[in-house]
């Protein structure tokens, strides 16, 4: 009975959205022993109901329009995704340029170039918090409309 309840709980969580193995383990830990959770997770992986690669792909797909590579890399690592899977998921989103994504986010938030250093710093901090590199931020705030020189 406890195994079925645990399995139902896991399937209910997976029906809502993809989860990483470590996320699901953490969520199920309070409801069963560590061995029961591990056994269930292995079975879900065998049945292809749980996949860290699929989770990473889904995460990048849903967050790429709002965050930079650094932030997504950090969040995926925090959720227990291995470095090779993170690299693979981020490479799949290579169709969109980091500078273009940063510009789209900046345009929605600000839309006008900073008029002084205080405003420049505020916009740079915002973009940095979103996970964009300093090179991308400098290029964007130097030429916010991304026009070729």
pLDDT in tens, 104-133: 999 999 988 888 899 999 999 999 999 999
**Domain presence at residue 147:** no
46 & 59 share domain: no
Tokens in use for 113? 């170039």
Read off the CATH number of the domain in which 137 is found: 1.10.10
**Domain presence at residue 148:** no
**Domain presence at residue 34:** yes
Half-sphere exposure of 36 (CA within 13 A, CB side): 15
57 & 68 share domain: yes
Nearest to 44 by CA among 6, 1, 81: 6
Specify the pLDDT at position 63.
93
> How far is it, in rounded angstroms, from Cα 104 to Cα 4?
46
**Domain presence at residue 149:** no
> pTM of the prediction?
0.82
> How far is it, in rounded angstroms, from Cα 70 to Cα 139?
17
pLDDT in tens, 73-105: 999 999 999 999 999 999 887 656 888 899 999
Specify the pLDDT at position 1.
40
63 & 41 share domain: no
> How far is it, in rounded angstroms, from Cα 87 to Cα 83?
6
pLDDT band at residue 147 using 50, 70 and 90 as cut-offs: low
Q: Which domain holds residue 76?
A: 52-96
73 & 91 share domain: yes
Nearest to 140 by CA among 23, 62, 118, 112: 112
pLDDT band at residue 149 using 50, 70 and 90 as cut-offs: very low
43 & 10 share domain: yes
- Spell out the residues 6+ positions from residue 37 whose beta carbon is closer than 8 angstroms to its own: 6, 25, 28, 29
34 exposure class (CB count in 10 Å sphere: 0-12, 13-18, 19+): exposed
- Residue 77: count of CB within 10 angstroms of its CB: 12
1 & 46 share domain: yes
pLDDT in tens, 49-76: 999 999 999 999 999 889 999 999 999 9
Q: Which of 12, 35, 50 is the last residue of a domain?
A: 50
Specify the pLDDT at position 3.
52
Specify the pLDDT at position 95.
59
The tally of domains found in the chain comes to 3
90 & 120 share domain: no
**Domain presence at residue 131:** yes
> How far is it, in rounded angstroms, from Cα 146 to Cα 148?
6
Specify the pLDDT at position 62.
92
């Amino acid at each position: 009975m406890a195994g079925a309840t645990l399995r139902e709980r896991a399937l209910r969580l997976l029906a809502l959205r993809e989860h990483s193995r470590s996320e699901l383990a953490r969520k199920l830990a309070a409801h069963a022993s560590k061995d029961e959770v591990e056994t269930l997770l292995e079975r879900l992986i065998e049945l292809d109901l749980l996949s860290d690669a699929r989770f990473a792909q889904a995460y990048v797909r849903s967050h790429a329009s709002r965050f930079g590579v650094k932030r997504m890399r950090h969040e995926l690592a925090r959720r227990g995704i291995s470095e090779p899977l993170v690299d693979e998921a981020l490479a799949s989103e290579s169709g969109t340029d980091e500078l273009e994504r940063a510009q789209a986010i900046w345009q929605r938030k600000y839309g006008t170039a900073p008029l002084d250093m205080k405003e420049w710093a505020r916009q740079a901090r915002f973009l940095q918090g979103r996970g964009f590199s300093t090179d991308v931020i400098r290029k964007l705030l130097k030429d916010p409309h991304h026009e070729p020189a």
